[in-house]
């Protein structure tokens, strides 16, 4: 006898539908518990001063020299190579100075 021949595996009947409904409810309950615990853990970590996300590639003290090189006429790609960052990082640095 195969496991799928079991009467509880038959989802067309009332017993099978009830079992699936119960399992679905338990799964949904577990998922909501996991989300709640994760959120509590995040809040506790933030309260401890934990920083989330990827660390910044470019430190704040190096942003002004980047801007000065670009203002002096150096290309963005050349400036990026000098500071070992991606050209998009240089563009973000320039954009930050304009919005400040």
pLDDT tens sequence across 13-33: 888 889 889 999 999 999 999
77 HSE (CA, 13 A, CB side): 0
pLDDT, residue 23, reads: 94
Mean pLDDT over residues 6-18, rounded? Answer: 77
Torsion over CA: 76, 72, 63, 79 (sign): positive
Residue linked to tokens 């050349």: 78
45-94 pLDDT, tens digit each? 999 999 899 887 777 788 889 999 999 999 999 999 999 889 999 998 88
Name the residue with higher pLDDT: 17 or 40: 40
């Amino acid at each position: 006898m195969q496991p799928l021949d079991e009467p509880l595996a038959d989802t067309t009947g009332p017993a099978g539908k009830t079992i699936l409904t119960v399992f679905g409810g338990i799964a949904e309950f577990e998922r909501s518990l996991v989300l709640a615990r994760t959120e509590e853990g995040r809040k506790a970590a933030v309260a401890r001063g934990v920083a989330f996300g990827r660390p910044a590639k470019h430190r704040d003290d190096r942003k002004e020299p980047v801007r000065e090189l670009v203002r002096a006429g150096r290309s963005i790609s050349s400036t990026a190579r000098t500071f070992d960052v991606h050209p998009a990082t240089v563009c973000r640095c320039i954009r930050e100075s304009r919005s400040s």
